[in-house]
Amino acid sequence: MRRIQLSLLTVFLAAPTLGQITGTYLLSTSNAVSPGAPTTTIGVWATWTDPNAEWAFATGDYDLAAGDGVFSNPVNVLNGPGSSAGVIASNMISGAVNGQLHIPQIGLLASRDNPILLATYDWTTSNFIPRSVSLDTSHTTFFEIGWWDPKAYANPHPPYLRLFPSAFTPGSGVIIVIPVPAAWVVLALPLVAASRRRRC
């Protein structure tokens, strides 16, 4: 048992000084939602503090919840072994997992993009009451980054750093719903201005 503990310690000591690294999920939307554009694409990104760019995203999981509406069209962008876009049930996605491999011995190098896009989902509504629809990642159980090194490791596995839960913040975002297409608002502004001038 002592021999195994020393071996693991050796792997982690080979990594650079960790400092205070924190991680979260970022949620992006492709557009505001309106009757003319009832669907927006949600991007789920992983990001972490890494001033020296020594770490790469390894693996993480999340559930994605929206205040209302319906999710569809899941696309795994970071699609390493064991990845899953999750199970969609209306405005909830459960059990999404994304990860990537980093095996320098065979020339397989992980992307160090930070933030890194994990997956995308379409979100649609038929309710165009103006509002902000909340988005959040919940039920995370792991969020790991791995030490990125282009050389082969003396040990069979690179060191990993699990940021969840002590150094992890759940992600949140909003979908903006407007009652008319944004282009209509832009086109209507000159007409409103002209009518006001006529009244004066």
Q: What is the mean pLDDT of residues 96-116?
A: 92
Transcribe 157-192 into DSSP letters. S--EEE-TTTTEE--EEEEEE-SS-HHHHHHHHHHH
Long-range contacts of range 181-187, CB-CB < 8 Å, 24 or more positions apart? 181/34, 181/35, 181/36, 181/37, 182/32, 182/34, 183/36, 184/36
Return the structure tokens found at 56: 């790469």
SS (H, E, C) 124-159: ECCCCCCEEEEEEEECCCCEEEEECCCCCCCCCCCC
Of 171, 80, 86, 67, the C-alpha closest to 127 is 67
Sorted by where each starts, the structural domains of the chain and their CATH numbers stand as 2-199 (2.60.40.680)
Of 87, 79, 88, 86, the C-alpha closest to 59 is 79
pLDDT of residue 51: 87
Residues in the chain: 200
pLDDT of residue 155: 53
Confidence band of 183 (pLDDT split at 50, 70, 90): low
Q: What is the mean pLDDT of residues 85-93?
A: 97
The helix/strand/coil state of 150 is: coil
Of 17-21, 44-48, 71-75, least confident by mean pLDDT is: 17-21
Residue 12 has pLDDT above 50, yes or no: no
Please give the share of the chain, as a percent, with pLDDT higher than 70.
77
pLDDT of residue 160: 85
Q: Measured between alpha carbons, how far is 66 from 135 in angstroms, rounded to an integer?
A: 5
pLDDT of residue 189: 45
Of 47-61, 122-136, 146-160, 182-196, least confident by mean pLDDT is: 182-196
